[in-house]
Amino acid sequence: MAWRRHNRDLTHEVFYEGTTIDGSRLEKAMRLIEEKFNRVPKGALKNRFVAVQYHAGFNPQPEDKAPSHRFPWLEIRNEAAVDVVGVAPAAAPYNELRIKGTHVPGIFLNAGGGTRSGTQWGWSRTFSFKKPAVLDSVSLLMHVESAGPYIGEELGAPSTGPYEYTHPPLGYSAGDYTADVSVTLDVFNPTTPEDPVMADVVYTRRRWVINREVFTVFASGATGTGWDDMFPTYDSVNVANVRPLQGRLLEDRDLNIPLPAGSKARISIVIPEYPAGTQSWGPQPWWIQAFSTTITTLEEVQSI
């Protein structure tokens, strides 16, 4: 520990029995105390934090309106045409994959000399933090409906539902719930932010069973009744067109993960596209549900 004269911060002047007390010393002490109160140093106050929420989400377009549209999903491999496992794609920055820690059963992006099988699609949002912050919670809502447009029926999804295996990968049986959505939050390296290999993964949820995170608010009720807990009461008349909010909800709270000053943090949602024959999620997984994400950070109260 570095040496310091004493632990008094307001003034260096000391007054006790055996010391002199004169006007000049008192004046000097009062002047130092006044300067400290007029400009309170950062370490003299307790840190106080306020919760800040960052929200993002989207609804996919109907499949028949944009059959080739995948926005905002991007394949997490840098080049779809490269089939040499372990070889960086031509003209890629440094890495073969854009996101780390996304392996799920039945999909092999880098099989260690084997054959690639299936692929994954990622949606990312990036946030910058000039001041230090604390990551408090992460939530992901996958909004589905009891019938179309977000369950993939018109896209050839299996009748058992998109989150159940029909032709399962090794280790699973037909009808088992899938565990194939990854959520990661990584912090870019400040010197090489374009290279995800150098990123630090501070939060990840992988292999969580989607159908065990079922979420719903209220059933819509029969025509003519609506939701009677609201005023004025809501009645869709045609219940088939207005359905209750439901889906799958992943939520982790009280994470207490520090984000250093100058952090550039990225949250990524990764969904699977299985090879032909597995069937779960269908051939176009980006139309199965609407997505909504929220991250909550604790940021220090600052004076203006």
- pLDDT given for residue 64 in this prediction: 62
- pLDDT given for residue 169 in this prediction: 82
E strand or H helix that includes residue 265: strand 263-273
Q: Which two tokens stand for residue 152?
A: 């993939």
Q: Measured on CA atoms in the order 204, 207, 210, 212, is the torsion positive or negative?
A: negative
pLDDT tens sequence across 68-84? 677 888 888 876 565 55
Is residue 170 within 8 Å of residue 176, measured between CB atoms? no
pLDDT tens sequence across 221-247? 544 454 555 555 555 555 555 556 678
Is residue 284 within 8 Å of residue 119, measured between CB atoms? no
- pLDDT given for residue 186 in this prediction: 93
Longest dimension (CA), the chain: 93
- pLDDT given for residue 217 in this prediction: 57
pLDDT of 122 > 70? The answer is: yes
- pLDDT given for residue 159 in this prediction: 44
Mean pLDDT of 18-24: 78
- pLDDT given for residue 229 in this prediction: 56
Pairwise pLDDT comparison (139 vs 36), residue with the higher score: 139
Is residue 78 within 8 Å of residue 98, measured between CB atoms? yes
- Read off the amino acid at residue 83: D
Measure the N-to-C terminal CA separation of the chain; round to a whole number of Å: 34
Confidence bin at 150 (pLDDT 50/70/90): very low
Confidence bin at 153 (pLDDT 50/70/90): very low
E strand or H helix that includes residue 38: helix 23-38
Spatial distance between the Cα atoms of 188 and 197, rounded to a whole number of angstroms: 9
Q: Which two tokens stand for residue 184?
A: 């990661």
Which DSSP symbol is given to 88?
A: P
Tokens 């608010």, located at residue = 217
Q: Helix, strand or coil for residue 181?
A: coil
β-strand partners of 246 = 144, 216
- Contacts of 198 by beta carbon, 8 Å cutoff, 6+ apart: 188, 189, 191, 192
Spatial distance between the Cα atoms of 118 and 286, rounded to a whole number of angstroms: 15
Spatial distance between the Cα atoms of 174 and 112, rounded to a whole number of angstroms: 27
